[in-house]
Amino acid sequence: MKSRFLKPHSISARLTFMFAGATVFLLALSEGSLYFMLSRNVMEQGRRFLADKLSVVQLILANQPGRMEPLREEVQWETGAKLHARFFSRVLDSSGGVIIETQGMSALFLDAPFPRPPTDGSAFQRGVIWRPEEEKCYLLGSAIAREGNAGSPRVLEVAVDISDGDELLEDYGRNMGLSLAAGLVVAAFLGYFSARRGLEPLASMERKAKEITAERLHERMANEKWPKELLALASSFDAMLARLEESFVRLSAFSADLAHDLRTPLNNCLGGLEVTLSKPREPEEYRQALGSALEDLTKLSRMMDNLLFLARADSSHAKADRRWLEAEKEVSAICGLYEAVAEEGDVALDQCGTARVYADPLLLRRALGNILSNALRLSPRGSSVSISAKEAQGGAVIEISDSGPGIPEDELPRIFTRFYRPAKSREEHPQGLGLGLAIVKSIMDMHQGSVSARSGKGKGARFILFFPNPT
């Protein structure tokens, strides 16, 4: 489990850490590269100096064999004349005896690990670093030389004091650490300041969001001038506000319609009973009053049942007990239930098509029954209502078509809203509740399917139910 200390709690902290880390990384990379090049340059200068001295001594021995004066001048006098160079050299015989050397070299380099000279005659390439003391550093090198063309071999050893370069590298390393620490502090400060300034639009968006209440859902975020990176967030927030505003409007309309639809039968029932009980009446009058009250109470009971079903359907735990069904058999059963209603209204029921549908049988019949009852109620005498079933890509489709007055195109998007009924429908069919198509929509949602309507004024209506196959 990660420590809470290592887990930033804000975007500003995250950005500050990332900015400071990136800055320190770049500083370390650049200073490390400079340190590497400086170290390489110091060593390269020392190696070139070693190679030059070894080459000079080799040339003296090869071109002037037996003469000590030129050799002494190079090994002893040249060193003495250039004390600032601080180098030491000597010539050894084949047994390791010193032929000539810079004064004091044997004592100073008694335990020096001079490298073995290459025996194949190759030139000097690298050297050995030797630190006899804390503040001293030497670069050691060796080579083979011959006196004349056939003279005996000689061993040349040269040491160069590179303490100044080594001290320079140490100072540079210390300064590099200090600059990295200072860079970290400055980068953290600048990163925090930049993050705060950069995130100021988010703070403005937060203040704007706090101003939006249930009474101000019409306001929108995208109307402000936000940075390009926040435009998508503002648009998504506006889309959410639009959905909330629509939901509030629908909820208000739902509450108003529910109150109206509950008040009407209750007032009718209460008013009728109060009038009936206001004075003694004949048994027949009591019977009529009770019958009227029963009719209103039945309507209320049906409304409560439908609302309870919609509430259960809206629950995330609501599931349809789906299975494979023969659509022809289910449609025939529904037609049988409404056959008497169709005959009373002189409306013919036409059934056609076959398909296998994956659905809950009870919910399927309820959805078909709700649409069919509306179609029979709205269809004129002598017309027909057709129910067809067919296979479709990925599922099955059941269509119900009638020859009624149709639905205006501007009202089609709202017909599946709860308690929504056009004004004309309220006048002609006051017994309706406006919940039938909403129940159909909930049933199709439980089946992960869809329901749609096609209609036009005076053109009848066609409802299309799509039941998907199991995945």
> Is residue 185 scored above 50 in pLDDT?
yes
Within 10 angstroms of residue 2's Cβ, the number of other Cβ atoms is: 6
- Amino acid present at 121: G
pLDDT at 6: 45
Angle between helical axes of 228-277 and 283-314 (0-180°, round to 10)? 160
The fraction of the chain above a pLDDT of 70, given in percent, is 84
> Is residue 30 scored above 60 in pLDDT?
yes
> Percent helix, strand, coil in the chain (nearest 5)?
55, 15, 30
pLDDT at 81: 44
For domain 228-313, give the fold.
Helix Hairpins (1.10.287)
Q: What region does 457 belong to: left with phi over 0, alpha with psi -120 to 50, or beta?
A: beta
pLDDT at 201: 78
Q: What is the pLDDT of residues 301-328, one digit of tens each?
A: 777 777 777 767 666 566 778 899 999 9
Distance from C-alpha of 78 to C-alpha of 70, rounded to nearest angstrom: 10
pLDDT at 387: 92
Nearest in space to 145 (alpha carbons), one of 48, 53, 56, 62: 62
Distances (CA, A) of 191 to 19, 23, 24, 47, 227: 6, 9, 12, 45, 19
Within 10 angstroms of residue 13's Cβ, the number of other Cβ atoms is: 14
Greatest mean pLDDT range, 106-110, 341-345, 404-408:
341-345
The fraction of the chain above a pLDDT of 90, given in percent, is 7
The mean per-residue pLDDT over the stretch 417-435 comes to 59
At 25, list the tokens. 């990384």
Which H or E element spans position 298?
Answer: helix 283-314
Q: What is the pLDDT of residues 137-163, one digit of tens each?
A: 888 888 887 776 666 778 888 888 877
Cα end-to-end span (Å), the chain: 38
Distance from C-alpha of 83 to C-alpha of 74, rounded to nearest angstrom: 13
- Does the model's pTM come out above 0.75? no
pLDDT at 37: 86
- Please give the mean pLDDT across all residues of the chain: 79
> Is residue 277 scored above 50 in pLDDT?
yes
- Lowest mean pLDDT segment, chosen from 135-149, 257-271, 422-436: 422-436
pLDDT at 397: 93
Q: What is the pLDDT of residues 94-144, one digit of tens each?
A: 777 878 777 777 778 888 888 888 766 555 667 788 888 777 888 888 888
pLDDT at 120: 62
Instruction: Compute the half-sphere exposure of residue 376: CA atoms within 13 Å on the CB side of its CA.
Output: 23
Distances (CA, A) of 71 to 85, 93, 139: 18, 14, 22
- Lowest mean pLDDT segment, chosen from 81-90, 188-197, 285-294, 423-432: 423-432
Q: What is the pLDDT of residues 358-374, one digit of tens each?
A: 998 888 988 898 899 88
Q: Domain 320-468 classified CATH 3.30.360.10?
A: no
Q: In what order do the strands lie in the sheet with 138-146?
A: 98-101, 87-92, 153-161, 138-146, 128-130
CATH number of 11-184: 3.30.450
Per domain, the residue ranges of the chain are: 11-184, 228-313, 320-468
Residue with more model confidence, 32 or 303: 32
CB 157 within 8 A of CB 140: yes
For residue 137, give the 3-state DSSP assignment: coil
Beta strands at 323-326 and 138-146: parallel, antiparallel or unpaired: unpaired
String of b and e for 141-153 (b: at least 16 CB within 10 Å)? bbbbbebeeeeee
Within 10 angstroms of residue 175's Cβ, the number of other Cβ atoms is: 12
Q: What region does 383 belong to: left with phi over 0, alpha with psi -120 to 50, or beta?
A: beta
> Is residue 460 scored above 50 in pLDDT?
yes
pLDDT at 123: 53
> Is residue 375 scored above 60 in pLDDT?
yes
pLDDT at 442: 86
CB 314 within 8 A of CB 442: yes
Dihedral (CA of 162, 166, 167, 169) sign: positive
Give the confidence band of 215 by pLDDT, cuts at 50, 70, 90: confident
Residue with more model confidence, 328 or 247: 328
The two domains 11-184 and 228-313 share their CATH topology (first three levels equal): no
